[in-house]
């Protein structure tokens, strides 16, 4: 199957499973801002177009793309409900503060998710293996029913 056909099929499949991200794309395109309902504990960023994202990086600044969903690579991961709720709550707080201070919302897919990942990577890189173990154990304890 040629790359273009494969990319088209992959794009259609990713849209089928990324309903919450579709709402974000409409909001980023200028529609009125409404909180996106997150129905699944899956955070994703277009895994199907890795080749396109790689060419974008080599051509210039990877953050300067027209359409995040079609030009960035996607990575899906699963979260326990309490972390999904934290992610949603933190986004809403950050978006509101951004709106109040700067007069514009913070696009979730274009900026918030990449910031969460980048800051998480920075923090994990600075941790010792013992710290990683302790934080993992703390997550386990937090996930237990009260």
- Summarised one tens digit per residue, pLDDT across range 40-76 is 333 444 443 444 444 444 457 888 888 888 888 888 8
State the pTM of this model: 0.57
Rounded to a whole number, what is the distance in angstroms from the first to the last CA of the chain?
52
32-37's contacts with Cβ under 8 Å and 24+ in sequence apart are 33/99, 33/105, 35/92, 36/108
Task: Name the packing angle between helices 3-17 and 50-59 (round to 10°).
Answer: 110
C-alpha triplet 26, 38, 137: angle, nearest 5°: 135
* Cβ–Cβ under 8 Å, residues 95 and 27: no
Does the pLDDT of residue 37 top 90, yes or no? no
3-state secondary structure of 53: helix
DSSP state of 24: H
Q: Which residue has the higher pLDDT, 51 or 137?
A: 137
Q: Which residue has the tokens 């273009």?
A: 4
Task: Please classify residue 1 by burial: count the beta carbons closer than 10 Å to its beta carbon, then call 0-12 exposed, 13-18 middle and 19+ buried.
Answer: exposed
Does the pLDDT of residue 133 top 80, yes or no? yes
Distance CA 62, CA 71 (A): 9
């Amino acid at each position: 199957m040629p790359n273009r056909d494969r990319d088209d099929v992959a794009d259609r499949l990713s849209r089928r499973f990324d309903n919450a991200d579709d709402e974000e794309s409409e909001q980023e395109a200028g529609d009125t801002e409404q909180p996106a309902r997150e129905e699944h504990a899956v955070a994703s960023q277009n895994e199907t177009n890795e080749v396109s994202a790689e060419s974008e990086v080599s051509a210039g600044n990877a953050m300067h793309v027209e359409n995040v969903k079609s030009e960035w690579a996607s990575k899906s991961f699963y979260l326990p409900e309490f972390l999904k709720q934290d992610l949603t709550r933190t986004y809403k707080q950050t978006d509101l503060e951004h709106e109040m201070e700067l007069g514009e919302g913070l696009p979730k897919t274009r900026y918030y998710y990449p910031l969460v990942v980048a800051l998480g990577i920075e923090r994990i890189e600075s941790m010792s293996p013992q710290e990683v173990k302790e934080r993992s154990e703390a997550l386990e304890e937090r996930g237990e029913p009260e």
